[in-house]
A and B are shown apart, each in its own frame.
Chain A
Amino acid sequence: MLSSPGWSLRTPSVLTRFVIFTALSLALMVVDHRGQQLARARAALSVVFYPMEIAATIPARVGVSLAGMFSGKQALREKYDRLAAKQVLLEARLQRYDALRAQNTHLRKLLGSAALVADRAVVARILQVNEEPFTREIIIARGSRDGVRDGQPVIDNHGIMGQVTEVDPEQSRVTLITNPGHAIPVEDVRNGLRTIVFGTGAEDRVAVRYLTAPVDIKVGDLLVSSGIGGTFPFGYPVARVTSIVNDPNEPFLDIHARPIAHLEYNKEVLLIWPVKTPRWPLRRPSTDGLQLPGTSHGH
């Protein structure tokens, strides 16, 4: 019936339909790019395809559990020994941390600022890594039902990973600091130099832009979040400078850094609800000899 001769006369031609759908796509893109009107539609569609996204992660999860099933006794033994040793080390370090925290709180009280309360954190499982090239994004299994909100910082046990950019009831999308559209205000731990770290789209590289030649930044410098802008709390490691190129033909230095967080290896990430604290420099510039414990770094 569909292929009867009259069919092509009753429906619009292929070209007409192509023009209609192209116009529709363009209109959608403009609306989506300009504003937030489509956010709700996108969230609704995401919910519809949520089971599929979950199903897509099954092979990887089965693989991990199979690998666990077949890993030998010897391997487990070695892993146990390693973890036991690490546990001792961490406990020892934690004792020092408690003392330091007490000391810190005390000093802050003396200075009249609010006591530093640890940021609230919740562990979230990574459901999916976006496979589209250049969009450095992950999807995590925590959503608005767990209190996740737009713009919330996401970290791992090494440093800042990115921020939440889309929240659904059961999951949310996290834009990593390596995403080309992402920027994060940082400061150099060594001298307090404020700058901005941009994503490049490459998995292991971020860029420090808009710094001109006579500036005090060195390879190996640790950049931590400066807390300016209010999205990220102060003091979390972001990246370490790996290369500085001064091309006289370019107006700015070409500085690259490697993210501290293990962006490509994690299974779990931490969502934090930062507590508003006043910005607090780790080290003042040009005060040699004054160094807080635990901030030592190699050049």
Chain B
Amino acid sequence: MSLNQNNRSRLVIALTFLAALFLSILPGPESARPFRPDWVTLVLIYWCMATPQRVGVGVGWTVGLILDVLYGSLLGQQALAETLVAFLTLKLHLRMRMFPRWQQAVTVLVLVAISHLVVLWISDLVAHTPVHWSYWTSSIVSMLIWPWLFIILRDVRRRARVS
């Protein structure tokens, strides 16, 4: 292996974000739209919690900006939401590591809901958007998927020895 530990960690983190972005733009039926978890935010929360020295506000902002480009939304909209999520996770990461899994999932629900709220506020400021209850089911699905995603990403982190 010519990659040293540092570069390999970066590569693994980048690949997980790439996978999350890919899942976010995967075309799907209209009826499944409210049940799609917010993959990018979940992966961001995980890395901010597990490796706060590598992934933080800057990475959150960059990933958010890419999401803006892919979604075609106002540039900076998702970026702001992901920045906020990264910041809050960094502030909470020591506590979140100690939480039992279900409590962690609830914290994730709050974080994802906050990011969705920020996006909603901005879209409402720019152009009035009707709010449907199904807008929030995505946060709940994100919460339900968190424990499984956590296990997968932890496994990835241990195998690739990302630190």
Number of A-B contacts (CB under 8 A): 123
A25–B83 CB distance below 8 A: yes
Determine if A131 is an interface residue (Cβ-Cβ < 8 Å). yes
Choose among B64, B76, B90 the residue that contacts A14 (Cβ–Cβ < 8 A).
Answer: B90
Choose among A21, A59, A60 the residue that contacts B58 (Cβ–Cβ < 8 A).
Answer: A21
Contact mask for chain B residues 121-141; partner A; CB cutoff 8 A; 1 contact, 0 none: 011001111101011000000
Secondary structure class of chain B's binding surface, majority of residues: helix
24 cross-chain CB contacts under 8 A: A14-B87, A17-B57, A18-B83, A18-B87, A22-B83, A24-B76, A25-B64, A25-B79, A25-B80, A28-B65, A28-B75, A29-B80, A29-B122, A31-B75, A32-B74, A49-B66, A128-B27, A131-B24, A131-B25, A131-B26, A131-B33, A135-B71, A135-B73, A200-B130
Contact mask for chain A residues 211-249; partner B; CB cutoff 8 A; 1 contact, 0 none: 000000000000000000000000000000000000000
Nearest residue, chain B, Cβ from A200:
B130
Min distance, Cβ A250 to any Cβ of chain B, angstroms: 16
A129–B27 CB distance below 8 A: yes
Contact A42 B27, CB 8 Å, known A26-B80, A134-B129:
no
Choose among A25, A53, A55, A200 the residue that contacts B76 (Cβ–Cβ < 8 A).
Answer: A25
B72–A173 CB distance below 8 A: yes
Q: Which residues of A are interface residues toward B (Cβ below 8 A)? A: 2-3, 7, 14-15, 17-18, 21-22, 24-29, 31-33, 38, 41-42, 45-46, 49, 52-53, 55-57, 59-60, 128-135, 137, 166, 173, 180-181, 200-203, 264
Sort chain B's interface into a size bin: 35 or more
Please give, as numbers and ranges, the residues of chain A lying within 8 Å of B83 by CB-CB distance: 18, 21-22, 25
Nearest residue, chain A, Cβ from B66:
A49
B53–A2 CB distance below 8 A: yes
Min distance, Cβ B22 to any Cβ of chain A, angstroms: 6
A201–B56 CB distance below 8 A: no
Please give, as numbers and ranges, the residues of chain B lying within 8 Å of A29 by CB-CB distance: 74-77, 80, 122
Please give, as numbers and ranges, the residues of chain A lying within 8 Å of B154 by CB-CB distance: none
